[in-house]
Amino acid sequence: MKNQGEKQTTDSLSEIMNIDRLVHSPARLAILTYLSVVEDGDAVYLLNQTGLTWGNLSANVTRLQEAGYIEVVKEFKDRKPHTLLKLTDRGRKAFQGYQNKMKELLDMKKPISREGWRISRLNRIK
């Protein structure tokens, strides 16, 4: 029978495992963070702000776009290609949900022990 401490540790671990991994990726988290504070941003802005390479930015933007988290608008500005990125309502909700979940996890009274982590992983493997 589990005692209260083991149950809290197991519950805490299952909450960590339920984090939105699409948002949790460092590159995508940076993109969403920057887009959350502006109405829209162009690719050059995000490239400069995040420090990502063009290829890495493009791959992560594609993943976020496929999930419906951002909208990509391609246009021409002074006869030059211009890519504009916006956070969608779905993306804003996902980002805010991620922030709230992380705050909850970080505000937990009891830290997760190494033993609790090991027990949880063993139970999941069974």
Q: What integer pLDDT is reported at residue 112 of this predicted model?
A: 54
d(CA 33, CA 105): 19
Looking at the whole model, is its pTM more than 0.85?
Answer: no
Is residue 86 very low, low, confident or very high in pLDDT (cuts 50, 70, 90)?
A: very high
pLDDT of residue 12 exceeding 90, the answer is no
Residue with tokens 């609790």: 116
pLDDT-wise least confident of 5-19, 30-44, 96-110? 5-19
Is residue 43 very low, low, confident or very high in pLDDT (cuts 50, 70, 90)?
A: very high
d(CA 61, CA 68): 10
Q: What is the mean pLDDT of the chain?
A: 83
Residue 112's domain comprises: 4-125
Return the CATH number at 53: 1.10.10.10
Q: What integer pLDDT is reported at residue 94 of this predicted model?
A: 96
pLDDT of residue 110 exceeding 90, the answer is no
Three-class secondary structure of residue 71 per DSSP: strand
Task: Name residues whose C-beta falls within 8 Å of residue 103's C-beta, 6 or more positions apart in sequence.
Answer: none
From edge to edge, which strands make up the β-sheet containing 41-42? 41-42, 80-87, 70-77
Is residue 16 very low, low, confident or very high in pLDDT (cuts 50, 70, 90)?
A: confident
pLDDT tens digits, one per residue of 67-82: 999 999 999 989 999 9
pLDDT of residue 55 exceeding 60, the answer is yes
Instruction: State how many domains the chain has.
Output: 1
Q: What integer pLDDT is reported at residue 39 of this predicted model?
A: 92
Residue 41, by phi and psi: left (phi above 0), alpha (psi -120 to 50) or beta? beta
